[in-house]
A and B are shown apart, each in its own frame.
Chain A
Amino acid sequence: MSATSPVSGPSPSVVGGTVRFRIYRYDPERDRKPRMQDLEVRLHPHDKMLLDALMRIKADVDDSLSFRRSCREGVCGSDAMNINGRNGLACITNLRGLRQPIELRPLPGLPIVRDLIVDMTDFFQQYHSIKPYLINNSAPPERERLQSPQQRDELDGLYECILCACCSTSCPSFWWNPDKFVGPAGLLQAYRFLADSRDEAGAERLDNLMDPYRLFRCHTIMNCVDVCPKGLNPTRAIGKIKEMMVRREI
Chain B
Amino acid sequence: MALARRRFDAVIVGAGGAGMRCSLQLARAGLSVAVLSKVFPTRSHTVAAQGGIGASLGNMTEDQWLWHMFDTVKGSDYLGDQDAIEFMCREAPSAVYELEHLGMPFDRNPDGTIYQRPFGGHSANFGEKPVPRACAAADRTGHALLHTLYQCNVAARTQFFVEYMAVDLVRDADGDCLGVVALEMETGTPVLLEGKVTVLATGGAGRIFAASTNAYINTGDGLGMVARAGLPLQDMEFWQFHPTGVAGAGVLITEGVRGEGGILLNSRGERFMERYAPTLKDLAPRDFVSRSMDQEIKEGRGCGPEADHVMLKLDHLGAETIMKRLPSIREIAIKFANVDPIREAIPVVPTIHYQMGGIPANFEGQVVAPANANPEAVVGGLYAIGECSCVSVHGANRLGTNSLLDLIVFGRSAGNHICAALQTPSSHKPMPRDAGEATLARLADLDARPQGERTQDVAAELRRVMQAHCGVFRTGTLLAEGVRKIAELAERAARVAIGDKSRIFNTARIEAIELSNLVATAQATIESAQARTESRGAHARDDFPQRDDANWIKHTLWYAGGPEPQYKPVHLKPLSVPTFEPKKRTF
Given contacts A46-B248, A114-B505, A133-B152, whether A71 and B107 have CB atoms under 8 Å apart is no
Q: Kindly list chain A residues whose C-beta atoms are within 8 Å of the C-beta of B217.
A: 70
Q: Is A145 an interface residue (CB 8 A)?
A: yes
When C-beta atoms are compared, the residue in chain A nearest to B328 turns out to be A75
Contact B102 A134, beta carbon cutoff 8 Å: yes
Interface assignment of B336: CB less than 8 Å from any CB of chain A: yes
How far is A136 from B467 in the complex, measured between Cα atoms in Å?
Answer: 49
Query: Which residue from B45, B101, B151, B456 sits with its C-beta under 8 Å from A70?
Result: B45
Asked, given contacts A64-B508, A149-B109, whether A77 binds B48 with beta carbons under 8 Å apart, the answer is no
Give residues of chain B (349-401) contacting chain A, Cβ–Cβ below 8 Å.
Answer: none
Q: Which residue of chain A has its CB nearest to the CB of B456?
A: A59
Interface pick from B84-92, B417-425, B476-484, B495-503: B495-503
Q: Tell me if B113 and A76 are in contact (CB < 8 A).
A: no
Q: How far is the CA of A149 from the CA of B499 in the complex (A)?
A: 55
Which chain B positions have C-beta within 8 A of A69?
216
Binary CB contact string for chain A from 15 to 55 against chain B (1 if under 8 A, 0 otherwise): 00000000000011110000000000000001010000001
Residues of the B chain whose Cβ atoms lie less than 8 Å from the Cβ of A159: 105, 137, 144, 147
Q: Which of B35-43, B71-79, B293-301 contacts A (4 or more CB under 8 A)?
A: B35-43
User: Does B507 count as interface, using CB distance less than 8 angstroms?
Assistant: yes
A72 touches B216 (CB 8 A): yes
Q: A193 to B251, alpha carbons, bound, how many Å?
A: 31
Proximity string of chain B (329-348) to chain A, C-beta cutoff 8 Å, 1 when within and 0 when not: 00110011000000000000
CA distance A120 to B48 in the complex (A): 22
Contacts of B560 in A (CB 8 A): none
Say yes or no: is B143 at the interface (Cβ < 8 Å to chain A): yes
Is A95 interfacial (CB 8 A cutoff)?
no
CA distance A62 to B506 in the complex (A): 12
Which single residue of chain A is at the shortest CB-CB distance from B503?
A29
Contact, CB under 8 Å: A132 / B107:
no
Q: Chain B residues near A76: list those with CB within 8 A.
A: 39, 42-45, 47-48, 215
Q: Is B581 close to A, CB under 8 A?
A: no
Question: Which A residue's beta carbon lies closest to that of B457?
Answer: A59
Q: How far is the CA of A115 from the CA of B248 in the complex (A)?
A: 30
Do B102 and A63 touch (CB < 8 A)? no
Q: Mark A88-130, 1 if CB is under 8 A from B, else 0.
A: 0000101000000000000000000111010010001000100
A65 to chain B, nearest CB (A): 8
Total A residues in contact with B, Cβ cutoff 8 Å = 60
Contact of A71 with B504 in the complex, beta carbons under 8 Å:
no
**How many Å from the CB of B92 to the closest CB on chain A?**
13
Contact partner, B215, options A67, A70, A117, Cβ 8 Å = A70
The answer to whether A144 and B113 touch (CB under 8 A), given A71-B45, A133-B151, A133-B152, is: yes
The answer, yes or no, to whether B3 is at the interface (CB within 8 Å) is: no
B103 close to A (CB within 8 Å): yes
Query: Which residues of the partner chain A approach B109 to less than 8 Å between Cβ atoms?
Result: 149
Is A219 at the interface (CB under 8 A from chain B)?
A: no
Q: Check if A143 is an interface residue, CB within 8 A of chain B.
A: yes
Name A78's contact: one of B43, B455, B457 (CB within 8 Å). B43
Whether a CB of chain B sits under 8 angstroms from the CB of A162 is yes
- CA–CA, A72 to B114, complex, Å? 30
Please determine whether A94 and B335 come into contact, CB atoms closer than 8 angstroms: yes
Contact in complex: A132, B331 (CB < 8 Å): no
| Complex interface residues of chain A between 216 and 233 (CB less than 8 A to chain B) | none
Task: Report if B554 contacts A (CB, 8 A).
Answer: no
Contacts of B186 in A (CB 8 A): 113
Whether A72 and B111, one on each chain, are in contact in the complex, defined by CB atoms closer than 8 angstroms, is no
Residue of B97, B106, B332, B504 touching A143 (CB-CB under 8 A): B97
Asked if A155 is at the interface (CB within 8 A of a chain B CB), the reply is: yes
The docked-state distance in angstroms from the alpha carbon of A92 to that of B113 is: 35
* Contact for A68 among B39, B152, B502, CB less than 8 A: B39
Residue of A nearest to B460 (CB): A59
Chain A residues near B506: list those with CB within 8 A. 64, 66
Q: With CB as the reference atom, state the residue of chain B lying closest to A192.
A: B105
Q: With both chains docked as a complex, state the minimum distance between the C-beta of A113 and any C-beta of chain B, in angstroms.
A: 5
Which residues of B, 503-548, contact A by the 8 Å Cβ criterion? Answer: 503-508, 511
Q: Which chain B residue shows the least CB distance to A155?
A: B105
Shortest A46–chain B CB gap in Å is: 6
- Separation in Å of the A83 CB from the closest CB of chain B? 15
CA distance in complex: A58, B110 (Å): 51
B151 touches A58 (CB 8 A): no
A43 to nearest B CB, angstroms?
A: 14
B454: Cβ under 8 A from any A Cβ: yes
Query: Is A29's CB under 8 angstroms from B504's CB?
Result: yes
Q: Is B456 in contact with A152, judged by CB distance below 8 angstroms?
A: no
A217 to B115, CA, bound (A): 39
Q: Most B CB atoms within 10 A — which of A68, A140, A159?
A: A159
Nearest Cβ in chain A — how far from B515, in angstroms?
12
Partner of B48, one of A73, A113, A128: A73
Distance (whole angstroms) from the CB of A68 to the closest CB of chain B:
7
With A58-B508, A69-B216 already in contact, the answer to whether A140 and B101 are too (CB < 8 A) is yes
A162 to B41, CA, bound (A): 11
Cβ of B7 under 8 Å from chain A: no
- How long is the Cα–Cα vector from A70 to B206 in the complex, in angstroms? 13
Question: B108 at the A/B interface (Cβ < 8 Å)?
Answer: yes
A66 & B505 in contact (Cβ 8 Å cutoff): yes
A134→B154 CA distance, assembly (Å): 11
Residues of chain B lying within 8 A (CB to CB) of residue A133: 102-103, 151-152, 154-155
The yes or no answer to A2 lying at the interface (CB within 8 A) is no
Please indicate the chain A residues that have their CB under 8 angstroms from the CB of B505 in the complex.
66, 113-115, 117
Shortest C-beta distance, B400 to chain A (Å), equals 18
Contact assessment for A144 and B508 in the assembled complex, using a CB-CB cutoff below 8 Å? no
- In the complex, whether A147 has a CB less than 8 A from a CB of chain B is yes
A145 engages B47 (CB within 8 Å): no
Whether the Cβ atoms of A74 and B103 lie closer than 8 Å is no
Q: List 29 A-B contacts (CB under 8 A).
A: A58-B456, A58-B507, A59-B455, A63-B500, A66-B506, A70-B43, A71-B43, A71-B48, A72-B251, A73-B48, A73-B251, A74-B331, A75-B328, A76-B48, A76-B215, A94-B335, A113-B186, A132-B154, A142-B97, A143-B97, A143-B113, A144-B96, A144-B97, A144-B100, A147-B112, A159-B137, A160-B143, A162-B42, A163-B40
Among all A-B residue pairs, the 6 with the closest Cβ atoms = A134-B103, A146-B112, A59-B456, A64-B500, A133-B151, A63-B508
Given A94-B335, A145-B100, 12 more pairs with CB closer than 8 A: A48-B336, A58-B511, A59-B457, A76-B42, A133-B103, A133-B154, A136-B101, A143-B113, A144-B101, A144-B113, A149-B108, A152-B108
Interface of A toward B, CB cutoff 8 Å: 27-30, 46, 48, 55, 58-60, 62-64, 66-78, 92, 94, 113-115, 117, 120, 124, 128, 131-134, 136, 140, 142-149, 151-152, 155, 159-160, 162-163, 193, 196, 198-199
